[in-house]
């Protein structure tokens, strides 16, 4: 197997040097520090911590996870300790890491995003932000930021004005067309976009005639969504000039290569870490092996090389 720190994998994202283009996705790698005994974090390309809100959140009622065919459905409900506790309890250890760490930020009003970023921007130790815009704006009748170009532009531009750190916008796949929203994020000041987030799904117990998730609906992730995610990443990458980070069902190095080929500059690995906590490191090593076998000098040479029939 190859090496996750091979020169073939070295790249940069929004001006930030990454030892490899494989990043641990938000919501699947806790606050990074919890994985220190399971994974050599110095070999991970980057880490996005679980979503942070203004105040602590308990999340949804259980059951919150259901193993589906080819993946999993979750309705965790963005449970987190809140931005202030993150700064005091988690950030000191993150500052000691040699791996770039990004804070995932979410809210239910633009002011929520602004306050979280305002708190974090006064602290050292973070490489940038990833905005989770797959949330309903409670000030506008529950319209999702990710589905409305005006709301999306508003939250991205307001956060952009608060920080010099890179701002990544994580787009939802639960839209009719991804290209217009990718362009809106770019025009509003995003340094990169990441996609896809999970697909709204329903698992049913036919005998009980009830949903298998306590919150009724959840988000589908894992290998089952990869073909759709590849299509959406390809469409978004053709629509914008900023980097695209691809995610959705990546379980091995060749999966990662596929996302690069369709236009991604980096990838995020999420659901795979539930059965293999070392998945980001393993996938990077497998990507290195793929590049060596294909006689590719650097993985970045794969980006955007898809040849449509």
Read out DSSP for 191-236? SEEEE--PEEE--EETTTTEESSTTS-EEEESGGGHHHHHHHHHHH
Contact 56, 80 (CB under 8 A): yes
166 touches 160 (CB < 8 A): no
2 near 62, Cβ under 8 Å?
Answer: no
Helix (H) or strand (E) holding 179: helix 179-187
Q: Is 122 exposed, middle or buried (0-12, 13-18, 19+ CB in 10 A)?
A: exposed
What is the torsion angle, in degrees rounded to the nearest 10, for the CA atoms of residue 200, residue 249, residue 28 and residue 203?
Answer: 40
Query: Which DSSP letter does residue 76 get?
Result: -
Catalytic pick among 22, 120, 135, 262: 135
CA gap 85, 80 in Å, rounded:
9
Given a contact cutoff of 8 angstroms between Cβ atoms, the answer to whether 272 and 24 are in contact is no
Question: Tokens standing for 71?
Answer: 């993946």
Whether 291 is catalytic: no
The maximal CA–CA distance of the chain, rounded, in angstroms, is 55
Instruction: Say how many CA atoms lie within 13 Å of 194 toward its Cβ.
Output: 32
As annotated, the active-site residues are 135
């Amino acid at each position: 197997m190859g090496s996750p720190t091979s020169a073939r994998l070295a790249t940069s994202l929004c001006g930030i040097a990454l030892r490899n283009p494989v990043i641990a996705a938000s919501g699947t790698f806790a606050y990074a520090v919890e994985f220190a005994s399971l994974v050599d974090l110095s070999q991970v390309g980057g880490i996005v911590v679980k979503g942070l809100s203004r105040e602590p959140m308990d999340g949804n009622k259980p059951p919150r996870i259901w193993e589906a065919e080819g993946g999993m459905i979750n309705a965790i409900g963005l449970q987190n300790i809140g931005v202030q506790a993150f700064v005091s309890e988690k950030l000191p250890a993150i500052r000691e890491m040699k791996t770039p760490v990004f804070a995932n930020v979410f809210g239910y009003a633009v002011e929520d995003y602004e306050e979280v970023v305002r708190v974090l921007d006064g602290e050292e130790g973070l490489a940038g932000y990833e905005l989770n815009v797959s949330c309903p704006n409670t000030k506008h009748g529950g319209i999702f930021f990710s589905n409305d170009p005006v709301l999306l532009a508003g939250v991205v531009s307001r956060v952009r004005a608060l920080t010099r750190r890179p701002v990544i916008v994580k787009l939802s796949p639960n839209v009719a067309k991804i290209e217009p929203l990718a362009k809106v994020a770019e025009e509003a000041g995003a340094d990169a976009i990441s996609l896809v987030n999970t697909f709204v799904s329903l698992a049913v117990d036919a005998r009980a005639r009830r949903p298998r998730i306590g919150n009724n609906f959840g988000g589908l992730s894992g290998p089952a969504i990869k073909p759709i995610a590849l299509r959406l990443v390809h469409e978004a990458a053709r629509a914008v000039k900023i980097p695209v980070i691809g995610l959705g069902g990546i379980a091995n190095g060749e999966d990662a290569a596929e996302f690069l080929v369709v236009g991604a500059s980096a990838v995020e690995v999420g659901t795979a870490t539930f059965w293999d906590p070392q998945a980001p490191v393993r996938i990077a090593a497998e990507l290195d092996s793929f590049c060596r076998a294909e006689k590719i000098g650097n993985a970045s040479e794969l980006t955007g090389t898809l040849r449509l029939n």
